[in-house]
Structure 1
C-alpha cells in the first residue's frame, strides 16, 4: 500500500524508461514496469491506462529531457530583417545546431526509445501528442520566426531540420551487431553472411558504416542544409 501511494505518472514513466534502457523495448510490458516499481500490475493502470499510453509516455519523457537540456542552452537568435546574412546568419545556425546536438545527446542516452520517436507520431494526431513534444516543435518554429523569413521558407527549413536530424539519429543508433560475442569485426557484424560477389562494397565498407558519425557529422550535414537559407 505504501509503494502504491507513492506512485505517480512520472514515477511509472521513469520505471518504464529504466526497463527499456537496460533490457530493450521488447522487454517493456505493464507487468514488467509494475515489477520494477514493486507493485501489482493493476496499480499502474491509473497512471498509464494502456501499453500505447506507456509508449507515448516514453516519447514524452525524452522530450522533457530535451526541454530541460535546452533551457538556457540555446544561443539567443537576433532579430533582423528578412533574409539574415553575416553574423546574424551564424547566430541562427548556432541556435539550430544547438537544438540538433541536444536531440542527439538525449537519443544517445536512450537509444532503445529512439524508434518510438520516429514511429509513434504516425499513430497519434498532432494535437493529441504530449505537450513536451508540441513544445519542442513550437520552440523550433518560434526560433525560425525571429529570422524574418516568410512562411514558406520557414516551413521548408522546419521540415528539412526535422527530417535530417531525426533520420540521422535513427540510422546512427540502429542495431548493426550480428553476434556481440565475436571479436573479429567482420564476424561481429555478420558480414560473412553477405556474398562477396553480390555485395562487395557492403563487405568492404561494413565496418566503417558501423562506426557512429557522432555530433560532428550530424552538425556538418545540418550546416550544409541550412547554408541555403542562412
Structure 2
C-alpha cells in the first residue's frame, strides 16, 4: 500500500487535476485507517494523501469526526440485507457472516462500528449507519414479527456480533516463540490453585477459530430466538 503514495513532491496518489469528491475523501481516509489506525488520521494527513490543501477537504467533511462518520457509512454500506428473503433465520446468518467479514477486512475500523455507536444516540448517528437496522426491521416484520420483537432480535444479533468481533480480533498471544500454549498465552502467570480450569483450557483458547465460533454462536442465538419469540402464523 505504501508504494501507491510515491510521486512528485507535494502530490499524493490522487493528483491535483483529479476531481475531489466526498467519495474520494472517504476512500482515502479508509486507506489511512486500514494502514495506520484511527488515531493517525488527520485532515492534514488526508490532504497529503489526496495531494490537496487540507482546507479544500472541508467542503466535503466539516471536521475529522465527520470523516469518521463517513468512513463508518461506506463500510456499513457493504453490509447486504435481503429484505425479501422468506427465511429470516438464513438471512440473519448471512448478515452476521457479512459483518464479521467487514470487521476482519477492516480491523482498525471496528471501534467505529462497535464502540462509537454505543455512545451516540440513534437520532444523532449518520443515516447511512442506520440503514442496516431499518432493513433488518423490515426483514423481520415481513416475517410477522412485531416491531418490538424485531428490535429485540436486532439487538440480540448485534450484541452477539459486537462481542464476537472484539473477541476474535483481540491479541491473546503474549509469547509467540514459546512451544506450549500455556506459555504462549501467558497463562502460566495465573495461580494454579485459583485458576485450574482456565489454565487447563490453554489449548482450546489458542485454537480459537473465528468462523467456527461465529457459526456455533449463531446456532445458539437463532435457536433461542426461534423458541422465545416465534413469529405468529399468518391467517390463511
Q: The TM-score by the shorter chain falls in which range?
A: 0.7 to 0.9
- Quote the Cα distance in structure 2 between the aligned partners of 1:224 and 1:169: 17
Are 1:176 and 2:172 counterparts? yes
Are 1:41 and 2:37 counterparts? no
Question: Which residue, out of 44, 64, 80, partners 1:51?
Answer: 64
Classify 1:18/1:225 alpha carbon distance in 2 versus 1 (closer, same or farther; 3 Å): same
Question: Which residue, out of 82, 102, 105, partners 2:101?
Answer: 105
Classify 1:167/1:4 alpha carbon distance in 2 versus 1 (closer, same or farther; 3 Å): farther
How is 1:12-91 mapped onto 2 (pairs within 5 angstroms)? 12-66=25-79, 70=80, 74=82, 76-78=84-86, 91=87
How is 1:75-154 mapped onto 2 (pairs within 5 angstroms)? 76-78=84-86, 91-154=87-150
Per the alignment, residue 87 of structure 1 pairs with none
Contact 1:21 1:111 (C-alpha < 8 Å) held by counterparts: yes
How is 1:134-213 mapped onto 2 (pairs within 5 angstroms)? 134-178=130-174, 182=177, 189-191=185-187, 199=195, 201-206=197-202, 208-213=204-209
Q: How many residue pairs align between the two structures?
A: 212
- Quote the Cα distance in structure 1 between the aligned partners of 2:38 and 2:88: 36
Q: Where does the alignment leave 5 or more consecutive residues of structure 2 unmatched?
A: 1-10, 231-236
SS in 1 for 2:101: helix
Q: Where does the alignment leave 5 or more consecutive residues of structure 1 unmatched?
A: 79-90
Deviation per CA, 1:167-216: give whole Å up to 9, x if none. Answer: 21122112334467x46566665556556665555555456435543233
Classify 1:211/1:22 alpha carbon distance in 2 versus 1 (closer, same or farther; 3 Å): farther
Per the alignment, residue 4 of structure 2 pairs with none
Classify 1:3/1:55 alpha carbon distance in 2 versus 1 (closer, same or farther; 3 Å): same
Classify 1:50/1:211 alpha carbon distance in 2 versus 1 (closer, same or farther; 3 Å): farther
SS in 1 for 2:78: helix
Instruction: Find the structure with the greater CA-based Rg.
Output: 2
